[in-house]
Amino acid sequence: MAVEMTPASGVKSPSGSRADGLKYVKPWFTGNFFTALIGGGIGYAFGHWLGNAIASGYSVTVNSGYNDVAVYLSLLFGIVGWFAGLGALNYPIQKLLGLEPLDPPKSEKRTFWEHWTYSSDHKVVGVQYLFGMLLYFLVAGLLALGIRTELLSPTYHIWAPETYIEIVGEHGTMMMMMMTSVVMGPFGNFLIPLMIGSKKMAFPRLEAASFWFTVPSFLILLSALWQGGFQSGWTGYAPLSIQGGPGQSDYDVAFMLMAFSMILASINMTATIINYRAPGMRWSRMPILAWGLITTAFTMLLSVPVLVDGLYVMGLDRGVRTAMLYAGHGGSSFLWENLFWFFGHPEVYLLALPGFALTTELLPVFARKPIFAYKTSAAGMIGVATLSFFVWQHHLFMSGMNPDMRPLFMLTTELISIPTGFLYLVAMGTLWRGKIRLEVPMLFLLAVFWNFLWGGVTGVYNSDVPVDALVHGSFFVMAHFHFTIMGQLMFAVFAGVYYYVPLLFGVRMNDKLGKISFWIIFISFNSTFLPLFMIGLLGQPRRVFEYAVRLQHLNQWVTVSAYVLGFGILLYVINLVWSLAVTRTPSEQNPWESQGLEWQVGYPVPKDNFEKIPVVLRSPYYYGYENPGPIADLDPSAERVAVVSGGDE
């Protein structure tokens, strides 16, 4: 039944109209993941029929004879059908018709089924991101094991050459594309409103859309394996990306969807942190995780649209015979390389910055002392984000383009190690003379610094042009970015999941299994990737499934270590799932004795987070003080809110 809400009093009445003429109505359709699959399938079929109808027999001459118009239209209409099946289009359509859609009521305790729907509750979206990203990571990890299995022997082959390069490209794309939101997605959406004293994210529907863009992106990318894959690798270099079959179109559209997800998430995160901080939450009191995510969001907003431009150009070249990237028809592949890496190198910091922020957020809890040089840490993040836009051409050192620019980009690449060093030294200062508690999250945090040290030191060598000429395209570079990204980011994520499970789900993970899985993961990770530095220096190139026989023993060692690493990660996941679904060992309300505002609301987190907007009284890092006092007044009077708000900034 339509109801009326008068703007002055906020009282509802059953008349069905308002003073401004709008009517409140329920959503027409409440969808879920499974209805979205049906809607996506219908849209895909319609788009394919339409593409064949309007471009029958049409194909790009340099392609493999496929009708790329039909491929792109099928994916486009499939996405529209996907969101229609979710029920995500209710709100915009009803608003266009002059109606006012009602949001479904939030539940006091989240249900299992709620996580399969298009929810505007930031806590539900955070959990959706958590398990979605975990799934994407595990699938990409299985593909990595497929790569290492092939490299057991230099002569005996499991995969055909074209299949091997498909698996390599799929693994790299899934890791680099899907994992960009592995911190901002689950931790940012669930925790940031709680950390800054807000009842919600700024744009709840954009928040939901940012997650549900990732699901079809994953499905489309995975489907490329059944359509010949893409031979261009995760970087999508032309002319291979123009000449490929429909699997390359899947790459194009999947990356585009993930880019939209990143843009929406960044808009939402930026608006929330700037505008929704509680009274008293000054910039100098803001949690370091919020600093990391807002700098990440700004970096995304400036770099990801450039990637979207490049993907759009690639689609035009493939679908309607333009020639902007194809040198054979007058274009330039350098255009794609510059557009891609202007996003692609800041993307490294879209992965690293949230990892450092999460690490620095948790470190004081287990060191039992305040963050050392809090402002320096925030400045380091801003410095890394800024300089990340001045280094992209070091990926083009060996391309032959504009050699005179190499010294400049070598300099800027080496300069970025300075603010990165700030973050590292802040962490070391926080640990210095701390009362360290070696809980499972702390073990993963300590491993972050060991791993990143290897990645950072080898990165300085990669930035040097003569050394880059030697190691370019080798396993040395591959080992470097695995230490930098997986060794830093994923170890921080493992720590964060273990740490926040009591707040998200009210249970504790098994400590014994946690420690066993940590040591297996840490030792096997180093055993996998440290030898790859030697393999790369000895001349083995990436993306090639045959190599010198003299390197077989090293490759076999790496492959066995990779399988042990996979077992360790699987053990961690089993611990998580078993703790949530079977044992459900209840957790204390604040088992880590954290002073963060997010831990003050208890489990289950109330549906609106706070009964009243709290007044923040101090920093969340007053560890080691005898009587730090409460971090916030959770039930303030209106007068106190007004006073604190007036002098907040």
User: Judging by DSSP bridges, how do beta strands 632-633 and 615-616 pair with one another?
Assistant: antiparallel
pLDDT one-digit tens code per residue, 2-60: 333 333 334 343 334 454 555 667 777 788 999 999 999 999 999 999 988 887 766 54
pLDDT at residue 648 tops 50 = no
Instruction: Report the 10 Å Cβ neighbour count for 403.
Output: 10
CA distance 398 to 198: 49
Q: What is the mean pLDDT of residues 370-384?
A: 93
Residue 533: pLDDT band with limits 50, 70, 90: very high
Comparing CA positions, the residue from 506, 378, 363, 529 lying closest to residue 451 is 529
Query: What range does the domain containing 379 cover?
Result: 113-583
**Omega within 30 of 0 (cis) for the link into 92:** no
Q: Any bridge partners for residue 23, and if so which? A: 99
Contacts of 399 (CB under 8 A, 6+ apart): 334, 337
Are 199 and 278 members of one domain?
Answer: yes
Task: Answer for the pair 261, 136: CB distance below 8 angstroms, yes or no.
Answer: no
CA distance 450 to 462: 19
Are 96 and 146 members of one domain?
Answer: no
Task: Answer for the pair 126, 211: CB distance below 8 angstroms, yes or no.
Answer: no
Are 86 and 125 members of one domain?
Answer: no
pLDDT one-digit tens code per residue, 317-332: 888 888 899 887 788 8
**In degrees rounded to 5, what are phi and psi of residue 511?**
-65, -40
Task: Please state, for a pLDDT cut of 70, what percent of the chain lies above it.
Answer: 92
- Domain membership flag for residue 9: yes
Task: Answer for the pair 249, 60: CB distance below 8 angstroms, yes or no.
Answer: no
Instruction: Report the 10 Å Cβ neighbour count for 160.
Output: 10
The single-letter DSSP state of residue 398 is: T
With b meaning 16 or more CB within 10 Å and e meaning fewer, what string describes 450-483? ebbebbbebbeebbbbeebeebbebbbbbbbbbb
Are 338 and 415 members of one domain?
Answer: yes
Amino acid in position 381: M
The single-letter DSSP state of residue 396 is: G
Q: Which of 566, 583, 600 is the last residue in one of the domains? A: 583
Q: What is the mean pLDDT of residues 151-167?
A: 91
Number of domains in the chain: 2
Maximum Cα–Cα distance across the chain: 83
Task: Answer for the pair 145, 562: CB distance below 8 angstroms, yes or no.
Answer: yes
Are 74 and 125 members of one domain?
Answer: no
Are 97 and 117 members of one domain?
Answer: no
Q: What is the mean pLDDT of the chain?
A: 89
**DSSP helix/strand/coil, 3:** strand
Are 83 and 133 members of one domain?
Answer: no
The single-letter DSSP state of residue 419 is: H
- Domain membership flag for residue 618: no
pLDDT one-digit tens code per residue, 536-595: 999 999 888 899 999 999 999 999 999 999 999 999 999 999 999 998 999 898 999 999
pLDDT one-digit tens code per residue, 262-277: 999 999 999 999 999 9
Contacts of 106 (CB under 8 A, 6+ apart): 121, 607, 608
Are 355 and 504 members of one domain?
Answer: yes
Q: What is the mean pLDDT of residues 92-97?
A: 86
Q: What is the pLDDT of residue 109?
A: 74
| Pairwise pLDDT comparison (229 vs 261), residue with the higher score | 261
Are 84 and 165 members of one domain?
Answer: no
Amino acid in position 40: G
- Domain membership flag for residue 592: no
Q: Which of 61, 80, 101 is the last residue in one of the domains? A: 101
Comparing CA positions, the residue from 201, 211, 193 lying closest to residue 268 is 201
- Domain membership flag for residue 608: no
Q: What is the pLDDT of residue 7?
A: 38
Rg of the chain over Cα atoms, rounded to whole angstroms, equals 25
CA distance 121 to 123: 5
- Domain membership flag for residue 507: yes
Q: Which of 568, 583, 598 is the last residue in one of the domains? A: 583
Return the minimum-mean-pLDDT range out of 27-31, 104-108, 135-139, 198-202. Answer: 104-108
Using alpha carbons only, give the angle 270, 275, 279 rounded to the nearest 5 degrees. 135
pLDDT one-digit tens code per residue, 207-218: 999 999 999 999
The tokens describing 195, both together, are 């950390």
Task: Please state, for a pLDDT cut of 90, what percent of the chain lies above it.
Answer: 64
**DSSP helix/strand/coil, 586:** strand
Give me the CATH number covering residue 208: 1.20.210.10
Q: What is the mean pLDDT of residues 198-209?
A: 93
- Domain membership flag for residue 524: yes
CA distance 19 to 179: 47
Q: What is the mean pLDDT of residues 78-91?
A: 93
Are 386 and 463 members of one domain?
Answer: yes
- Domain membership flag for residue 226: yes
Are 559 and 478 members of one domain?
Answer: yes
pLDDT one-digit tens code per residue, 454-475: 998 998 888 889 998 889 889 9
pLDDT one-digit tens code per residue, 390-425: 998 888 888 888 888 888 999 998 899 899 999 999
CA distance 172 to 178: 10
Q: Any bridge partners for residue 541, and if so which? A: 474
Contacts of 632 (CB under 8 A, 6+ apart): 197, 278, 280, 597, 600, 614, 615, 616, 617
- Domain membership flag for residue 648: no
Are 95 and 128 members of one domain?
Answer: no
CA distance 102 to 118: 14
CA distance 524 to 528: 6
pLDDT at residue 645 tops 90 = no
Amino acid in position 439: E
What are the helix (H) ranges across 388-505? 406-415, 417-431, 440-462, 465-471, 475-481, 491-505
Q: What is the pLDDT of residue 23?
A: 64
pLDDT at residue 499 tops 60 = yes
Task: Answer for the pair 455, 481: CB distance below 8 angstroms, yes or no.
Answer: yes
Comparing CA positions, the residue from 432, 526, 417 lying closest to residue 479 is 526
